[in-house]
Amino acid sequence: MHSEVEDLLKHGPLPSESASVEEIQHIQDLIERITTPLNLEESVALARLLGNDYCFGLAWTVIHLIETAPGWGTAHVPTGFGLLLQTLRDRANNSAICAPH
């Protein structure tokens, strides 16, 4: 696992939009250090950071990072329910439907 991903994982779930400006900025800095593509292990780990808060758009950036892993699909979305986990499932399902056969 790349050290940049590990650094973000050390902070636990993405903060809510009620977090301090400093905390949001720190998380943004960590996210921006991550290079793509991710591998499946990294994508699954990052998916566990998502909750029900968009974290001022940073959650969308994490979703886009997750989706760079070759082979990413619904089978890789962690179990459980949350708005953003469901978004990942929906997007994976949609990409499978639209994939050329």
Task: Please report, for the chain, the start and end positions of each structural domain, with discontinuous segments joined by +.
Answer: 3-98
Quick check: 95 and 71 in contact, CB under 8 A? no
**Percentage of the chain modeled with pLDDT above 90:** 83
To the nearest 10 degrees (0 to 180), the angle between helices 58-66 and 83-98 is 40
| Cβ-Cβ contacts under 8 Å for 25 (sequence gap 6 or more) | none
Choose among 37, 73, 28, 78: nearest CA to 55. 28
pLDDT along the chain (101 residues), means of 10: 97 95 97 97 96 93 97 91 92 76 53
Neighbours of 79 (CB within 10 A): 5
Mean pLDDT of the chain: 93
What are the structure tokens assigned to 15, written together? 């903060």
